[in-house]
């Protein structure tokens, strides 16, 4: 998320009423739904984190390492995919299924190192290879050494044929759920065009409006508003329930689908979201606890003390990991 973006939002997802405070100190508690969001600065306890080296990458028995979720506490990680081959060529990509560049692969690996001490129980990606590659490469850096496995439920036969019959193997796996609703915004007739050449042809102002306005779609494409409608609906229907049950979730998706979700979480206006830029391969962390999302920002490295002072439960999780890989 852009550094200047503030986080002072309340969002309801269910009809049950809770008393939750907004981030602004001059506001009184209000009745909102089960899920609410407020601001929270990074903690200042020094909890340095170090990822396991290649010589200490043994598989950790899940029975010996219980979930740190505690009383309804869980984490949400959002990651925009690494640089794609069309990002590199400065082409409009949209819903064209393009893989990562070597730089994108490195970005995904670095993202994985930054979140290698955060528990992950389920992964959501778009249906596109660049987001799936990012999720897989990031998970390969995780200290739990669990295997990300794409779930196939597109047909009864696909679901049946992909069953895992070992309970131990299942516990050493992380389900990866793919969803077209998390796909990048469909850029219509701009897809495959060079961005600079398109600006020269149609004018910089017109192309900027197609790219950054909230409700102006490119020719035969989607506006950000249209992308937000599908992405945010899916997030509320599928991702939030996982968090409510205490699951730790990672979402690997795209600039505009994630921009839509962050717009929803941060209650950004249609004008504010225009200036929201998301870098490739940079993870963002939210903590879900007692009905609230607490934004922790983007981890800058596996040993950054202030960012990794998340919560008592995650600190204990890290310490348990340290003791089991040493």
Distance of CA 280 to the CA centre of its chain: 12
Highest mean predicted confidence (pLDDT) among 94-108, 196-210, 285-299: 94-108
Q: What's residue 294's pLDDT?
A: 78
- How confident is the model over 157-169, as pLDDT tens digits? 999 999 999 999 9
CA distances from 199 to 1, 38, 210, 321 (A): 26, 39, 11, 51
Q: What's residue 271's pLDDT?
A: 85
- Tokens for 180? 């077209």
Q: For CA atoms 270, 274, 278, 284, give the dihedral sign.
A: negative
Q: What 8-state DSSP symbol labels residue 290?
A: T
Give the whole-angstrom CA distance, residue 12 versus residue 244.
Answer: 13
- Tokens for 308? 């990794």
Q: Which residue has the tokens 């830029």?
A: 277
The question of whether 184 is a catalytic residue gets the answer yes
Give the whole-angstrom CA distance, residue 250 versus residue 234.
Answer: 14
Rounded to the nearest 5 percent, the helix, strand and coil shares of the chain are: 35, 15, 50
The question of whether 152 is a catalytic residue gets the answer no
Residue 14 scores a pLDDT above 50: no
Residue 148 scores a pLDDT above 60: yes
In this structure, are strands 18-20 and 122-125 parallel, antiparallel, or unpaired? unpaired
Residue 79 scores a pLDDT above 70: yes
Give the whole-angstrom CA distance, residue 71 versus residue 34.
Answer: 15
Mean pLDDT of 65-74: 55
Give the whole-angstrom CA distance, residue 287 versus residue 224.
Answer: 26
Please provide the average confidence, as pLDDT, over all residues in the chain. 78
Contact 80, 184 (CB under 8 A): no
- pLDDT above 90 covers a percentage of the chain that reads 56
Give the whole-angstrom CA distance, residue 35 versus residue 126.
Answer: 24
pLDDT band at 309 (very low <50, low <70, confident <90, very high): low
Give the whole-angstrom CA distance, residue 304 versus residue 315.
Answer: 13
Task: Among 93-107, 240-254, 271-285, name the one with the lowest average pLDDT.
Answer: 271-285
Catalytic site residue from 184, 254, 264, 292: 184
How many helices (H) and strands (E) are present in the chain, helices listed first?
11, 10
Give the whole-angstrom CA distance, residue 305 versus residue 46.
Answer: 5
Q: What's residue 92's pLDDT?
A: 97
Catalytic site residue from 7, 81, 248, 254: 81
* 257: helix, strand or coil: helix
């Amino acid at each position: 998320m852009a550094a200047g973006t503030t986080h002072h939002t309340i969002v309801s997802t269910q009809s049950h009423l809770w008393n939750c405070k907004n981030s602004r100190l001059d506001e009184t508690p209000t009745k909102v739904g089960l899920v609410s969001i407020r601001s929270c600065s990074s903690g200042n306890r020094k909890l340095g984190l170090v990822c396991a080296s290649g010589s200490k990458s043994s598989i950790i028995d899940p029975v010996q390492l219980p979930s740190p979720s505690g009383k309804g506490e869980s984490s949400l990680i959002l990651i925009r995919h690494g640089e794609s081959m069309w990002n590199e060529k400065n082409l409009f990509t949209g819903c064209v299924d393009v893989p990562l560049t070597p730089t994108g692969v490195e970005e995904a690996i670095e993202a994985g190192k930054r979140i290698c001490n955060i528990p992950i129980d389920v992964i959501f990606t778009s249906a596109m290879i660049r987001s799936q590659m990012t999720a897989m490469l990031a998970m390969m850096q995780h200290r739990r050494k669990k295997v990300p496995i794409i779930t196939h439920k597109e047909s009864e036969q696909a679901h049946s044929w992909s069953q895992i019959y070992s309970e131990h193997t299942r516990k050493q796996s992380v389900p990866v759920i793919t969803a077209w609703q998390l796909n990048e915004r469909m850029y219509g007739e701009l897809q495959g065009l060079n961005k600079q050449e398109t600006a020269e042809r149609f004018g910089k102002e017109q192309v900027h409006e197609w790219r950054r306005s909230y409700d102006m779609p490119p020719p035969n494409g989607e506006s950000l508003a249209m992308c937000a409608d599908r992405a945010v609906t899916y997030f509320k229907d599928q991702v939030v329930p996982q968090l409510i049950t205490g699951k730790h979730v990672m979402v690997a998706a795209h600039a505009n689908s994630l921009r839509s979700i962050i717009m929803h979480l941060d209650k950004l206006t249609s004008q504010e979201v225009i200036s929201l830029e998301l870098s490739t391969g940079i993870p963002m962390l939210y903590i879900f606890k007692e009905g609230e999302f607490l934004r922790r920002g983007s981890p800058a490295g596996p040993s950054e003390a202030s960012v990794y002072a998340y919560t008592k439960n995650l600190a204990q999780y890290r310490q348990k990991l340290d003791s089991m890989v040493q």
